[in-house]
Chains A and B, each alone.
Chain A
Amino acid sequence: MYKLWRIFKFAIQGFFRNFWLSLVTITMMLMAIVSVTLLVSIDYVKQATIAGVEQKVDILISMQYEIEREDVDTLVLDLEELPEVKKVRIISPEDNMELFKQNNSNSKAIKALDVFEDDENPFGYSLAIQAYNLDQYKTISAFIEKEEYAGIVKASTFHDYESFVNKINNLSKILNKYSWYIIAIFAVISLVVIFNTIRMSIYTRKDEIVIMKLVGAGNWFIRAPFFIESIFYALVSVLIVIGVTYPIVNFIQPSLTNYFQDTQVINLAGYFQSNFLYIFGWQFLALATLNVVSTAVAMKKYLKS
């Protein structure tokens, strides 16, 4: 019990009495985990952007003018039976008129409505169809183009998006493939930096280890405070990263929201909030483990004397 308490006490003493060394060690670790946090953020922004764009994409079907609601509902039921269809939204002629007015309030196109009476509506029904993923739009598109629907479907606008959707899809695949390489490179760099930082730190204090050994301390009594100290380094580094990440994320969040004109597309602050333990917990565990292993390796030769 006394030994355990002393080990903690020595670790705290070692941390504060070698303050500058602790500071340098923590700074090096910070660089490594800030890089990892940045990478995590970029990965999230990438995924959220792609998901956001995917959400914005849909097939818009304009129905023939004379089509009644019952026919529209039948088509909707047929579409909903397709496994590729996520959601079908019916846009009524009234809604279409409103949308037209909103979108063309400052253009001459709105004058086209003047030829109609007030109680007349030149718009028919429309359907906005969303798929689960971008690849499925082709199937849905082909389904609509069937002959049996030729009489009720006037036009579909998916083709306008097709090349754009394909580009996004390809970009997403490339990013997903290479982000693993980037993560692996960052992980290796961080590992090497942290391992060598710990080695330098232990090298600086090698005399201390040798002296402890010479006055009869056992290997574990010498090692344990260094292990705990290395866990402190991990804890302080992660706490600093948490302290820095949240204000930065909260600062840039409004810009991201403005850019996408939608809070749901990239919610970086929410992402860090809901994945707090996953991101920072794993960072702490990985860093602490790496520090302890590096410390054990670095101390080994000085404990042989």
Chain B
Amino acid sequence: MIKISNLSKIYNKKVEALREVNMHVKPGEFVSIVGQSGSGKSTLVKMIIAEEKIDLGQVVIGGWDITKIKDREIPTLRRQIGVIFQDFKLLEKKTVFENIAFAMQACGFKPSVIKKTVDQMIALVGLKGKTDRYPLQLSGGEQQRVAIARALVHKPKLLVADEPTGNLDSINTREIIDLLKKINNLGTTVLLVTHNREVVNNLRGRVITLDNGYVISDQQKGRYLL
């Protein structure tokens, strides 16, 4: 699903955010990428979703080499990868339904198809009855559920979660992780970027550890090392 070879990212010819990163994520895996602040986790996510240009190395997503991706191809890539963020990145002036539907509307889907899919996603993330609310009328956990539903509307093969529990309390954190596990069980590859030790240790899955831009460990049944 993801094949990264010798990936490096250097900012302003001085700061090396990623150095010679190699990793291979198979379809259906649940992989946690851990590391302290400044270790290069977010840079890695940005390169996977083409938010940052790739200077050195190669990134292949689902067989698509995005190393030299063109600007006009980026929307197509992002429709194939579901992404959720620590700060949810919801459209404040759109309702729950509109936020989730937006990604499909951008692709020109029929209203009936959108309605059906969005309703399914809302049921999946447990937000029935809250479709007409605006993000600021929801709790942090609920907002992250909306973001997950939005990430899933295109039925992506890969879901990238960048610190999805960073702004949540422990109860909401557990619920969001359970939801990600459920999505993974339905066949979606999940790449969880986090520095939450408890979350990583409870998952008992594959853990890739980054430190100072390097991959320092890649364990199949790993724990939070740092």
Contacts and interface: CB of A to CB of B under 8 A. Distances in A.
B79 A211 contact: no
B49 interface: yes
Interface stretch (A13-21, A98-106, A272-280): A13-21
Interface stretch (B26-34, B100-108, B115-123): B100-108
Contacts of A221: 106
B102 A217 contact: yes
Given A2-B108, A6-B105, A216 B93 contact: no
B137 to A, nearest CB: 14
Contact of A3 (B75, B77, B91, B108): B108
Nearest to A303: B71
B106 A211 contact: no
Interface in B51-88: 51, 71, 74-79, 83
A213 B75 CA distance: 7
Contacts of B105: 2-3, 6
- Central interface residue in A18, A212, A215, by most chain B CB within 10 Å: A215
A208 B93 contact: yes
Contacts of B150: 215
Interface residues of B, number: 28
Contacts of B93: 13-14, 17-18, 208
Nearest to B107: A216
B117 to A, nearest CB: 14
A192 B77 CA distance: 38
A105 to B, nearest CB: 75
Contact of B91 (A2, A212, A216): A212
- Central interface residue in A213, A214, A216, A305, by most chain B CB within 10 Å: A216
B215 interface: no
A305 B77 CA distance: 14
A212 B106 contact: yes
B154 A214 contact: no
Nearest to A305: B51
Given A2-B108, A2-B111, A208-B93, A215 B102 contact: yes
B110 interface: yes
A211 B89 contact: yes
B89 A214 contact: yes
Contacts of A6: 105
B161 interface: no
B108 A216 contact: no
B90 A214 contact: no
Nearest to A18: B93
A305 B102 CA distance: 18
Contacts of B76: 216
Given A3-B105, A214-B78, 14 more contacts: A14-B93, A208-B93, A211-B90, A214-B83, A215-B78, A215-B102, A215-B150, A216-B75, A216-B76, A216-B77, A216-B78, A217-B102, A218-B75, A304-B71
19 contacts: A3-B108, A6-B105, A13-B93, A13-B94, A14-B93, A207-B89, A208-B92, A208-B93, A212-B91, A212-B106, A213-B75, A214-B78, A215-B106, A215-B151, A216-B77, A216-B103, A217-B103, A218-B75, A305-B51
Interface of B: 49, 51, 71, 74-79, 83, 89-94, 102-103, 105-111, 150-151, 154
